[in-house]
Amino acid sequence: MPAAPALAEDALEALGNPIRRQILTILAPGPCPVGEIAAQLPVSRPAVSKHLRLLQNAELVAFERSGNRNLFRLEAAGFDAAKMWLEAFWDEALARFALVAENTWTPKP
Amino acid sequence: MSEPLRRTVTVRCPPEHAFEVFTARLDLWWPRGHRKHPQSKLLIEGHQGGRFFEAVPTGEERLLGEVLRWQPPTRLTYTWVPGGGVGPTEVDISFVADGEYTRVEVVHAEADSGLGEAWNERIKKFTWAWGEVLPAFVAYLEE
C-alpha cells in the first residue's frame, strides 16, 4: 500500500485475525480484565496476552488501571485510522477510474 | 467503521462503458501500489460467484474477494478483503445513467447484513466475527 499510514496498516492487520476480532467483541460492552477475556476464548492466556499487545499496538484497545484492577477497553484511534485509509483508497481509485473511463470513450458522431 | 463508506464519481460515458472499464479494466485504474507484487494483474470474473483476485507473475493467484451480484451495466457487488488482512467487506457499485453521463456510486460496508443466497457457509462463517465487532463498538462509543 502506498502511503498506508502505519497505524491503519497495523489496525487492518490486527483486525484480520478471528481471535482478535473476538476480543474486540468481548470488549464492546465495556472494559474487561484479561482473565475474563481469556475465559471466553479457546486459546491460552499467554496467547491472549499476545493478541492484546497487537491490538494495543494498533490502538484498537487500550489498557487502564481501575483501583487494583487492570482493564482493557476499546480505543477509537485504530478504527479511525482504518476508516481513513479506506476513504483515501476510494478517492484515489475513483479518480483513476474516471480518467480511464473518459479517455477510452469516444461518443458516436 | 460500521457506517458504510460512500463515494460517488460522475463520468462522461454511458453505463455500459463505465461498467466495462470498472470490471474488465480494473487493473488499469486500481491504485498502483495496492498489490502484493508490483507486476501483478488484478482480475474480476464476470459472473455471480466469480473471483476477484490478484494474478502474481510467479503464477500464484491471491484471492481478494468474490462476486455476489453481476448485473451489467447497472450493478456490481463483491466482497473484498482490503489491506492484506482485514475483512471481509462488501463493495456495492451502482452505475446510474444521467444524460450523457454515468454516476458511479460506491457503498463499501462491513459484510454484516443482508446475507443472501449467494453467500455460502464458508463466507457466512468468515464474516460473522467482523460483522459483530464494529456495530458493537459504535454502540459503545455512543453510550
Amino acid found at A32: C
Residues of B in contact with A78 (CB under 8 A): none
CA distance A23 to chain B (A): 9
Q: How many Cβ atoms from other residues are within 10 Å of residue B46's Cβ?
A: 14
Residues of A in contact with B5 (CB under 8 A): 83, 86-87, 90
The verdict on a CB contact (< 8 Å) between A16 and B21 is no
Averaged pLDDT, A24-40? 88
B18-68 residue pLDDT tens: 999 999 999 988 877 667 777 889 999 999 999 999 898 889 888 888 899
**CATH code where residue B49 lies:** 3.30.530.20
Q: How far does CA B64 lie from the centroid of its chain?
A: 9
Alpha helices in A41-75 (DSSP H): 45-57
The ipTM is: 0.72
Bigger pLDDT: A7 or A90? A90
- Among residues A1, A26, A95, the alpha carbon closest in space to that of B32 is found at A1
Amino acid found at B32: R
In three-state secondary structure terms, B115 is: coil
Cell 490502538 sits on residue: A59
Averaged pLDDT, A36-58? 94
Q: What is the CA radius of gyration of chain A?
A: 20
Residue A47 lies in a domain: yes
Bigger pLDDT: B126 or B30? B30
Q: What is the pLDDT of residue A29?
A: 75
Domain that holds residue B137: 5-142
Q: What is the pLDDT of residue A13?
A: 72
Q: How many domains in chain A?
A: 1
Q: How many domains in chain B?
A: 1
Domain that holds residue A44: 6-103
Residue A71 lies in a domain: yes
Beta bridge partners of B80: B89
Bigger pLDDT: A3 or A33? A33
Among B21, B85, B137, select the one facing A16 at the smallest CB separation: B85
Torsion angle in degrees (nearest 10) through CA of B15, B89, B126, B130: -150
Averaged pLDDT, B80-92? 65
CA dist B17 → A52, B37, B41, B105 (Å): 48, 28, 21, 15
Residue A59 lies in a domain: yes
**CATH code where residue A50 lies:** 1.10.10.10
Averaged pLDDT, A1-22? 69
Cβ-proximal residues to A61 (8 Å cutoff; 6+ apart), any chain:
A23, A24, A27, A52, A55, A72, A73, A74, A75
Residue A1 lies in a domain: no
> Poorest-confidence range of A13-22, B40-49, B76-85?
B76-85
Residues of B in contact with A12 (CB under 8 A): 82-86
The verdict on a CB contact (< 8 Å) between A97 and B34 is no
Q: What is the CA radius of gyration of chain B?
A: 16
Q: What is the pLDDT of residue B41?
A: 92
How many helices (H) and strands (E) chain B has is answered by: 3, 7
Q: Are strands A61-66 and A69-74 parallel, antiparallel or unpaired?
A: antiparallel
Query: Does B109 lie at the interface with A, CB-CB under 8 angstroms?
Result: no
Q: What is the DSSP letter of B125?
A: H
Bigger pLDDT: B65 or A45? A45
- What letters, b where the CB count within 10 A reaches 16 and e where it falls short, cover B116-133? eeebeeebeebbbbbbbb
B92-118 residue pLDDT tens: 899 999 999 999 998 877 654 333 333
